[in-house]
Amino acid sequence: MASIPLQHVSIHGHDIGYRMAGEGPAILLIHGMAGSSAAWRSVMPDLAKDHLVIAPDLLGHGESAKPLGDYSLGAFASGLRDLLTALEVPRATVVGQSLGGGVAMQLCYQHPEIAERLVLVDSGGLGRDVSWMLRLLTLPAAEYVMPVLFPSFVRDAARPVERFLGRLGVQAPNLEEMWQAYAGLTDVENRHAFVRTLRAVVDPTGQSVSAMDRLYLAAAVPTLIVWGEDDPIIPVQHGYDAHEAIAGSRLEIFEGVGHFPHVERPGKFLKVLRDFLDTTEPAPADIEHFRELLRPGV
């Protein structure tokens, strides 16, 4: 993403990295667990042709600060509200992948005046099921075992392998995205932030935070759900369940795709997202309808 450089802003005394490009209606892109704004490198330049696109590094991720503190979905949502305020962006279409999907839903719930539309991509927070590896990493002292699981020499050895496969014309964007996250976990500071974030949403039995009891509120916001049919981390059934729970939502299942549709099939992802943007109207900024949904019969 050399063409869209990382910028920095201080919020509450913490350095926040973000990428921003383009002009027009705003789109906020929220990455997943152990990811960064670079996760959107395949789609951000195209979207920036006719939109203002903002892709932050969440606190504890990428080039943002990694302090001790609150790594809950609510804290992330408040942080993004503050970032948009600092950047003078009043409203946006909110797009979240994996952990970012949970953050996106929380942002729309806490600050409904911000969300023009909601896009969930292989989102967390929609059911208990999650990969066994993430469950294991929530166990006590996991951060001290991780150097054995994620040794830096294996990370470094992967780079020439990737270059070799590239010369052979072998493309494996899903593996590349996983390796990007893997590389980050070889750093002590990143590991501790990762574990704090993970334990806020996952425990040894599965995902511990669910938005399912509040998804009816999303009916007030145009909603698109995108899922990789072969997602090994969060099962595609969660996408079907969310679609059923959100009246008027759209569901797009990408065949032969895993956890990163925007990386594995960027062209198709852009086509689906652009069609959604072009054929829906932003939710009104007036939150009176949201209030009515919260108090039926009152």
Which positions are annotated as active-site residues?
98, 231, 259
Residue 268, burial from CB neighbour count under 10 angstroms (0-12, 13-18, 19+) = middle
SS3 172: coil
Q: Cα(127)–Cα(208) distance, rounded to whole angstroms?
A: 9
The total of other beta-carbon atoms located within 10 Å of residue 272's CB is: 19
DSSP letter, residue 137: T
Pairing of strands 52-56, 14-21: antiparallel
CB 121 within 8 A of CB 98: yes
Q: Cα(162)–Cα(170) distance, rounded to whole angstroms?
A: 9
Residue with tokens 């049919």: 229
- The closest of 108, 24, 97 to 55, measured between CA atoms, is 97
Q: Cα(179)–Cα(137) distance, rounded to whole angstroms?
A: 17
